Amino acid sequence: MSELNTIALKIISSGKGILATDESTGTMKKRLESVNVESTENNRLKFRHTLFSSDSMKSCIGGVILYDETIKQEFNSNKIPSIISKTGAVPGIKVDTGAKVLANSTEEKITEGLDGLRERLKVYYSLGARFAKWRGVYIIGNNYPSQIAVTSNAHSLARYAALVQESGMVPIVEPEVLMEGNHSAEICLKKTSEVIKKCYEELILQKVDLTGTILKPNMILPGSSSNQKISTEEIAELTIKCLKESVPSEVPGIAFLSGGQTEIEATKNLNSINKINKLNFIMTYSYGRALQQSALKYWSNNLDDIEGTQKIFNHRANMCSLASKGKWSEQVEKN
């Protein structure tokens, strides 16, 4: 087993998943202001440290994705990456610099951040990061995602992944096909498969060791403004069909993003996927909003109640962990 494969498995095995706290300062400002908290450096640290020091870190969280600001912060003179490592979780880092308008297809985006990446990775490794994340983002529409968006983002994801492995870290490959739109789940399946297949074509071309990677895809859902109603079992079937036809078997595991689903939807759908999972991949979570939303809301009204905030986060993390084993139910959710 390669060292990178060992790290990948440590992050996603044994009912564990990833806590995505890599919101950029701009996104975090929106999240905090939506609950009437001022987005200061100290408030961002205080909320995130509350999560990192929760009990469920040890049992439910195998990896934490950090943002550049957070990986360099300290809490009571302890470095954030070492606080995370002590819980048994692996510290990770978002290394893309965001999605920008794509020339010649201006409604679409291309993710940037390759320039100087090799040097930045060295710094992040020395700060304790052992995995990285890069998100390519795609829209669904009549002519979207376009071939330009599909090929350009796959190429960038593969170049990023190759550099991350060269630096001794595991790349999380995140091609996110957004939920926005009135498309059906079948269209989401078709477009997502196309996007993921192209990513693996590029990853293989650029000699990325797939056993030392983790895929972070969207689930297959109807568009957020479509009238289509489908059951959680159908979502699971379509998601598994997509992964079966587009992900090479060497990939050790898949950690879904929540992408705007509610906490319960993201938990329930992951649970359904694992109940019928007949593939060899581990299927777990790499949630941002679906792990943090309720905890953030409570904290915003009770800024000094660390324990109360952690209790809410622990419950959410435990529910996601059960879902990663197909053992979640409405009943355990209520207890």
Catalytic residues: 174, 216
Q: Are strands 17-20 and 282-287 parallel, antiparallel or unpaired?
A: parallel
Please identify, using beta-carbon distances, which residue of 17 and 222 lies nearer to ligand 13P.
Answer: 17
Please identify, using beta-carbon distances, which residue of 49 and 216 lies nearer to ligand 13P.
Answer: 216
C-alpha to C-alpha distances, 143 to 146, 149, 180, 278, nearest whole angstrom: 6, 11, 15, 33
Please identify, using beta-carbon distances, which residue of 4 and 64 lies nearer to ligand 13P.
Answer: 64
Q: Are strands 78-79 and 90-94 parallel, antiparallel or unpaired?
A: unpaired
- The distance of closest approach from Cβ of residue 320 to ligand 13P in the complex, given in angstroms and rounded to an integer, is 11
- The distance of closest approach from Cβ of residue 207 to ligand 13P in the complex, given in angstroms and rounded to an integer, is 25
Nearest residue by C-beta to ligand 13P? Answer: 288
- C-alpha span between 318 and 333 (Å, rounded): 9
Please identify, using beta-carbon distances, which residue of 120 and 133 lies nearer to ligand 13P.
Answer: 133
Interaxial angle between packed helices 147-166 and 117-126, expressed in degrees from 0 to 180 and rounded to the nearest 10? 50
- The distance of closest approach from Cβ of residue 304 to ligand 13P in the complex, given in angstroms and rounded to an integer, is 26
CB neighbour list of residue 11: distance below 8 Å, 6 or more residues apart: 18, 62, 63, 89, 90, 92, 131, 170, 214, 255
Please identify, using beta-carbon distances, which residue of 24 and 146 lies nearer to ligand 13P.
Answer: 24
- C-alpha span between 158 and 154 (Å, rounded): 6
Q: What is the DSSP string of 207-274?
A: T--GGG-EE-PPP----TT------HHHHHHHHHHHHHHHS-TT--EEEE--TT--HHHHHHHHHHHH
- The distance of closest approach from Cβ of residue 286 to ligand 13P in the complex, given in angstroms and rounded to an integer, is 6
Binding site for ligand 13P (CB under 6 A): 20, 22, 135, 174, 257-259, 287-290
- The distance of closest approach from Cβ of residue 20 to ligand 13P in the complex, given in angstroms and rounded to an integer, is 4
